Structure 1
Amino acid sequence: MAKVPKTQFVCTDCGHSTPRWQGQCICGSWNTMTEMRVSADAPSQRAKSGLSSSALGYAGSQGGGAKKIDDVQSADAQKSLTGIGELDRVLSGGVTKGSVNIVSGDPGAGKTTLLSDLVARMSLRMPSLYCTAEESLSQFKNRVDRLKLEYNNDNLFLLSETSVENIIDELDAQQIKFAVIDSIQAVVTQSANGSPGSPSQVKAAAQILTQYCKQNNVTMFIIAHVNKNNEIAGPQTLVHIVDALLHIDTNDGQIRTLRANKNRFGDVDTVGIFRMCERGMLSVDNPSEIFLSGSSTNSPGSTITCIRKGNRNILLEIQCLTTENEAEYPQRVCVGLNMNRIKMLTGILRKHTKTKIFHDTFFNIVGGLKIDELETCIDLALVAALLSSLNDFVIPRTSCIMGELSLNGDVRPIDSGVPRVKEAAQHGFTEIYIPHRNYHKSMEGLGAKVMPVKTIHDLIALIN
């Protein structure tokens, strides 16, 4: 007689299961417990997949008991350049052989476009496979033709499959050394219960694929969906299983930002800049050229500053426009900036400089880049652009302004002051305004005049 299936409640955030429903999961999330029917006589994940307990703990475990640390041979990670400059930068020198990497991002961010280019490039060196569980093979072929990608027909294999076991069979049959799975939420394994995308399926599929890659020295990239909060969907254990987590941020327009939120074979401070166009995701080797308007005319309300994305410095242009107010209350419009930061800076101006701002004020970042709220180094540039437009004077385009403004009107230091100044000097800026505590003797001899600023009053005196 068949056993009656039992019911479990599984958290959609962390994958924790309980026999009864509860409002809050142990991970702290509320109302994330969903009901799932589990067959009582279903084989366990460990039995069906043939994984030992040690293998489940670490995908590359070979057993043999504990060893002394001096008996273990150290081995450097083998990296290879992909030819996609910004991707190699984010991965700290290229793709690590035998690594498992996740790429996440909003729909339309360019995950499939980027990995299609990557798998085509890798097929020129080794047998490569792109497994799509979300689109037909003809759709993928059309994308390859549209992007005019170069590939080795003998080494590039396409697979439309949702079964993890069948995918592994194909990897074995074709002796694949580089693979892309699109996506982890669309594949299923017989060793777990639940529908595709459920926490148990996502976790089990990632464990099986990771173990296979570690034992067979296969490099794999896995596409993962995101939820409404722009965070990777599924259980958090998914992030712990893989070697690297890459996330694509979609800015307004064509700019894409690639960041490593986790990387076992490199740092997580590097950011890659891409431009989405009809030829695909193109690496931007010099992002400052995109975020500067390139205008040769001097006009009020325009200021150049330098921000830091990861471990790279990017010059960008901030534009401000002030017009007479025709309504009862003045408008404050920001594109790519934090509104609360703008309100705070206007309050500082009113308090310490007696500046009256009864105008409609519009701020914009050239190039469509979004500035994080924690990026406070642009405070002085925002204030300078606002005063320039309000008082109708021009800040020369050879000037670069950077620094954080405190509530008492003092200019606070910023991190990595010397690299920012060097970046501005390399791009031909001759006047660079920085916090006085960031000034260093190494800034001399760069071909630019570095002017330390202590207070908001010092800045106004220098730019007027």
Structure 2
Amino acid sequence: MAKAAKRAYVCSDCGMDFARWQGQCSGCKSWNTITEFTIPNTKSGVATSARSSLSGYAGIAGGGSKKLHEVEAVDAQKMLTGIGELDRVLCGGLTTGSVNIISGDPGAGKTTLLSDLVARMSKLMPSLYCTAEESLSQFKNRVNRLKLSCNEDNLYLMAETSVEAIIAELDAKQIKFAVIDSIQAVSTELANGSPGSPSQVKTAAQSLTQYCKQNNVTMFLIAHVNKNNEIAGPQTLVHIVDALLHIDTNDGQVRTLRANKNRFGDVDTVGIFRMTERGMLSVDNPSEIFLSGSTTESSGSAITCIRKGNRNILLEIQCLTTETEGEFPQRVCVGLNMNRIKMLTGILRKHAKTKIFHDTFFNIVGGLKIDESETCIDLALVAALLSSLNEFVVPRTTCIMGELSLNGDVRPIDSGVPRVKEAAQHGFTEIFIPYRNYHKSMEGLGAKIVAVKTIHELIELIN
């Protein structure tokens, strides 16, 4: 009598498995993410032969252990893509033979960016774009709309959901660069479940990675995200690939590309793009889009310098205060953390005796979102608020940076010298910094460095 097929229960968010179904995953605390799938008792001939080859590094037979001096050290070969910000995030270009994942919200620009990339790569090598979520005519319409330049003899398009068929096509056409759109939409015969299930996503990624490593094929996998804006599927998916890139969508046309994992470089670099009708355009000087460019000085504006990864970016903070028409004053902010705003107004009320019975509106020029951990903008927020409240102007040649503590002291910020150099290079003649960030190397930059210790000193200096 045949044995009954085994059943497994796996969380689609974190990949944790359970002996039985339950409503909440005890690993990631998500509700209704545990799905059931069947484990077959016997393996098919295709599955057995394929799994037997999965030995060593990405399926390449290791041939036993070796001593350290017997291993040949080979440097990773990188090639420039021609997309400046993508090359920056990948630390000098795309690594040959690497498998990369790019994720982001719907409409973030994943397909747009990779359509541009595969068109550029077709000029260098045979390239394939496999779409499992749209027709080939839709892809061609996008190429025409974005006016992408490509080598039509080297660019292959494919609408397929079978991993085995994709690998066969890669081998038949001797493809050296490929894009799979998306990993949640394809399926393999080596696993059970519907496309997008944990077992399918994991096994499909393993099979594609194995082929790429054995044949020196460079590949990008597009991945979906869940409700928390994190990559969907089992966490093992991230461990399989070489790099994980994520596109953050800000309010407006600004897109931020960050590497959350990179085996061939660091993860501190951030790329800035602007979404236009011509596609995702690299922004070589982000400070230009985050400064209003206005030549008219007005109250309620202050300029600061933040750090995105290893890049220093100048941006303008705007504040508007008006008389309250209702019973309670409003606090509205775009791109900023509301809790931080409330804390700063409390510090002003306690230490500067400034009572704010006004509707207060904050905005970041350019639509960039500031992380809650980016506390170096505290002094600029206070300066913009006081400037609008008391009707005085902070000169546009002044840059203000520093963190404010609850007792009214100005705390130091990280990477103070690079931030000051960035501001000086953009022509700022007066730079306010925390007292403990002062360094002698700042004196030769052609700007006046003003070191402040407390909120009281800042208020006296900017008034």
Aligned length in residues: 462
Give the 3-state SS of the residue equivalent to 2:55 in structure 1: helix
Task: Name the residue aligned to 1:271.
Answer: 270
SS of the residue 1:444 aligns to: helix
3-state SS of the aligned residue for 1:35?
A: strand
Q: What whole-Å deviation, never above 9, does each CA across 1:36-80 have from its counterpart, x for those lacking one?
A: 24443453995152443524xx31532210001111011111000
SS at match of 2:149: coil
1: distance between equivalents of 2:359 and 2:23?
47
Q: Counterpart in 2 of 1:433?
A: 432
Inter-partner Cα distance in structure 2 for 1:29 and 1:348: 36
Cα deviation 1:179-222 (Å, max 9, x = unaligned): 00000000000000000000000000000101110110000000
The whole-number CA distance in structure 2 between the counterparts of 1:174 and 1:72 is 32
Does residue 33 of structure 1 match 2:34?
yes
Counterpart Cα distance in 2 of 1:26 and 1:359: 46
CA distance in structure 1 between the partners assigned to 2:417 and 2:374 by the alignment? 17
SS in 2 for 1:54: coil
- 1:312 equivalent in structure 2: 311
What percent identity do the matched residue pairs reach?
81
Deviations 1:256-295 (A, max 9, x none): 0000000000000000000000000000000000000000
Question: 2-side partners of 1:447 and 1:45: how far apart?
Answer: 70
Which residue in the other structure is 1:84 paired with?
83
AA partner of residue 284 (structure 2)? D
Q: For each residue in 1:18-47, what CA deviation from the matched residue of structure 2 results, as whole angstroms up to 9, or x when unmatched? A: 442245556353543222244434539951
Q: Which amino acid aligns with 2:36?
A: E
**CA 1:72/1:42 → structure 2, altered by over 3 Å: closer, same or farther?**
closer
1:154 Cα offset (Å): 1.0
The normalised TM-score by structure 2 is: 0.97
The answer to whether the Cα contact below 8 Å between 1:206 and 1:238 also exists between their aligned partners in 2 is yes
Is structure 2 residue 44 aligned with structure 1 residue 43? yes
Pick which of 15-24 and 333-342 moved more.
Answer: 15-24
| Contact 2:24–2:30 (Cα < 8 Å) also in 1 | yes
Pairing 1:166–2:203 present: no
Q: Distance in 1 between matches of 2:439 and 2:270?
A: 26
SS at match of 1:445: helix
Pair 1:220 & 2:219 matched: yes
CA distance in 1, matches of 2:20, 2:302: 59
Query: How far is 1:253 from its partner?
Result: 0.6
Deviations for 1:431-457, whole angstroms, at most 9, x for unmatched residues?
000001001011011111010010001
Give the partner amino acid of 2:92. Answer: G
Aligned to 2:100: 101
Aligned pair 1:54/2:55, yes or no? yes
- What does residue range 10-25 of structure 1 map to in structure 2 within 5 Å? 10-22=10-22, 25=25
Moved more, 9-18 or 214-223: 9-18
Aligned-partner Cα distance in 2 for 1:48–1:199: 22
2:178 paired with 1:179: yes
User: TM-score if structure 1 supplies the norm length?
Assistant: 0.97
Contact kept? 1:13, 1:29, Cα under 8 Å? no
Q: CA deviation at 1:12?
A: 1.3
Per-residue CA deviation, residues 66-116 of structure 1 (Å, 9 max, x unaligned), is 001111011111000000000000000000000000000000000000000
Q: Secondary structure at the match of 2:428?
A: coil
Which residue pairs with 1:7 in the alignment? 7
Q: How much has 1:7 moved relative to structure 2?
A: 3.1
Contact 1:300 1:389 in 2 (8 A): yes
Q: Given that residues 47 and 190 in structure 2 are in contact (C-alpha distance below 8 angstroms), is that contact kept between their aligned partners in structure 1?
A: yes
1:207 aligned residue:
206
| Letter paired with 1:20 | R
Is 2:343 the partner of 1:357?
Answer: no
Deviation at 1:15, TM superposition (A): 2.8
- Take 2:128 and 2:54, find their aligned partners in 1: how far apart are those partners? 29
Are the counterparts in 2 of residues 121 and 150 from structure 1 also a CA contact under 8 Å?
Answer: yes
Q: Does 1:402 align with 2:393?
A: no
Task: Say which SS state the counterpart of residue 355 (structure 1) adopts.
Answer: coil
Distance of aligned partners of 1:45 and 1:391 in 2 relative to their CA distance in 1, 3 Å threshold: farther
Q: 1:359 to 1:65 in 2, by over 3 A?
A: same
For the Cα contact (< 8 Å) 1:77–1:97, is it kept in 2? yes
Does the aligned pair in 2 maintain the 1:44–1:191 contact within 8 Å?
Answer: no
